[in-house]
Amino acid sequence: MDRFLPYIAGGVAFAKYDVDNTVGGTTSRMFDKTVTGWTVGAGIDYAFTDNLIGRAEYRYTDFGTARADEGVFDPFDADLSTNEVRLGLAYKF
């Protein structure tokens, strides 16, 4: 497709989430965990010149749900997912 390179991507993802709660100057840890999930996305690369390449990508990542059960609040479930749009510029030597 000449200078365009569309692509899809997917795989395993890792993240460390931590949530703190501060009330009246006292901080308590509500959630602290390293999680494993999955990711999927799509994007396009475009070669502006033979050496200058631009990129736009969307990525969705899901780590499931985590239970926060410490602190002063009632326990609650947190949805651990992200939606990202990434833009990039690369120079090829």
pLDDT in tens, 14-55: 998 877 777 777 777 767 788 899 999 999 999 999 999 999
Instruction: Identify the pLDDT of residue 70.
Output: 61
Task: Write the pLDDT tens digit of every residue in 57-72.
Answer: 999 999 998 776 665 5
Q: What is the DSSP string of 1-69?
A: -TTEEEEEEEEEEEEEEEEEEEETTEEEEEEEEEEEEEEEEEEEEEESSSSEEEEEEEEEEEEEEEEE-
Instruction: Identify the pLDDT of residue 80.
Output: 87
Statement: the pTM of the whole predicted model exceeds 0.85: no
CA distance 71 to 22: 9
Residue 60 buriedness (CB in 10 A; 0-12 / 13-18 / 19+): middle
Instruction: Identify the pLDDT of residue 71.
Output: 57
Instruction: Identify the pLDDT of residue 27.
Output: 74
